[in-house]
A and B are shown apart, each in its own frame.
Chain A
Amino acid sequence: MFSLLQLFAATEESGPAIHITPGELFTVGGFSITNSMFYGGICSILIVILLIVAARKMTIKPKRGFIQFVEIGTEFIIGTIQNSMGSRKKAIQYAPFFASAFFFVMLSNWLGLLPGVGEAITYNEQPVLRPFTADLNGTLAASTVMMILVQYFAIRENGFIGYLRHFFAGSLKNPATYLLGVFEVFSELTRIGSLALRLFLNVAIGEIIIAIFTYLGSFAAPITALPFIVLELFVGALQAYIFTMLTIMYLSAAIKHGHDAEETIQAANEVTAQTA
């Protein structure tokens, strides 16, 4: 019993390789290039090429293979935006940003599960390849870009005054409006951190769990690690969905203004008229 405890406790000497932070591969003019930046670049080049090929080959009559997969993903994103914004035209207008974010996050998560990513190939005692989303800097950058896009779209839809009135809603003579407005701005800022932390922790902890079960399995590692790799495939797709879904929800909350209450009252009146 006690020896089992020591097996878990002795992580310093001979435990599984666990990295929370990315490792530095080399420096270019004072900037350090980490392994996650390196693999993120490879992933984004791959995604750009794949999606351009898919867009060229896309026809009205559906084809089999990779193109069908891209079509299903894009249609799914358009359907999600349509559900939360209520118009197909707006959904198609905003779809490119969210679809590219969805495919980038999902493929980054999935490419991190390939063999050879991690401890297999090392350079300067650091693994050469590390998934881009298993790095807090990467996910922070992704969520910051998405939240800035949301603010930009909100300003473009409502105008700058309407954008500010979304935060400072209510009578301007009331001091409570300003207090609540500051809280609203602050909650908009915390969304960047929560989006980034959620994506980073899910992917990084998946990597750690796979590393731990590979270590515990020793010679039977393929059998013990396989269920967790299959689980991580599911989690990777789910986290990409959640990342885009939450940004879409923030965008639709920022764009909607004013006449929410009127519409609700109108809908309620129609329902009561029908039942009566």
Chain B
Amino acid sequence: MELDVLAKGIMMGFGMLGPAIGIGLIGSSFMNAVGRNPEAAKYFGQVFVIIAIVELMALLVFASLFII
């Protein structure tokens, strides 16, 4: 039982690591783009779409918690 909890913790930790880095990179490059060209700020909606694509990986990790 205790090992089960440990496995879930390791899975959550490492599984969320990648999407977190990915969303951070998206945000930082959006801010870079706005800093260079302030007219790019109108593409804020597109950023959410790309974040949703990355977020799917994190959600898959979270959903696997209830399967193992």
Contacts of B59 in A (CB 8 A): 197-198, 201-202, 205
A194 vs B55: C-alpha distance when bound (angstroms):
11
Number of interface residues of A (CB under 8 A): 21
Q: Is the CB of B62 within 8 A of A5?
A: no
Q: Is the CB of A204 within 8 A of B52?
A: no
Contacts of A9 in B (CB 8 A): 1-2, 4-5
A59 vs B66: C-alpha distance when bound (angstroms):
50
Contacts of B48 in A (CB 8 A): 238, 241-242
Q: Which of B2, B4, B5, B49 contacts A246 (CB 8 A)?
A: B49
Is B31 interfacial (CB-CB < 8 Å)? no
Known contacts being A238-B48, A242-B48, is A201 close to B1, with CB within 8 Å? no
Is A141 interfacial (CB-CB < 8 Å)? no
Q: Is the CB of B56 within 8 A of A241?
A: no
Known contacts being A9-B5, A197-B56, is A20 close to B63, with CB within 8 Å? yes
Nearest chain A CB to B30 CB, angstrom units: 16
A5 vs B9: C-alpha distance when bound (angstroms):
11
Is B40 interfacial (CB-CB < 8 Å)? no
Known contacts being A20-B66, A241-B45, is A201 close to B56, with CB within 8 Å? yes
Mostly, the A contact residues are helix
Taking CB as reference atom, which chain A residue is nearest B43? A83
Contacts of B60 in A (CB 8 A): 197, 201
Taking CB as reference atom, which chain B residue is nearest A197? B56
A9 vs B22: C-alpha distance when bound (angstroms):
30
A194 vs B53: C-alpha distance when bound (angstroms):
9
Known contacts being A198-B59, A205-B62, is A8 close to B5, with CB within 8 Å? yes
Nearest chain A CB to B64 CB, angstrom units: 11
Find the residue from A80, A201, A204, A246 having the highest chain B CB count within 10 A: A201
Pairs A-B, 5 closest by C-beta atoms = A201-B59, A242-B52, A198-B56, A9-B5, A245-B49
B interface residues, Cβ below 8 angstroms from A: 1-2, 4-5, 45, 48-49, 52-53, 55-56, 59-60, 62-63, 66-67
A and B contact pairs by CB, cutoff 8 A, 20 listed: A5-B2, A9-B5, A18-B66, A20-B63, A20-B66, A20-B67, A194-B53, A198-B52, A198-B55, A201-B59, A201-B62, A201-B63, A205-B62, A205-B63, A208-B66, A239-B52, A241-B45, A242-B52, A245-B45, A245-B49
7 more CB-based (< 8 A) A-B contacts, given A20-B63, A208-B66: A9-B1, A9-B5, A20-B67, A194-B53, A197-B59, A198-B53, A198-B55
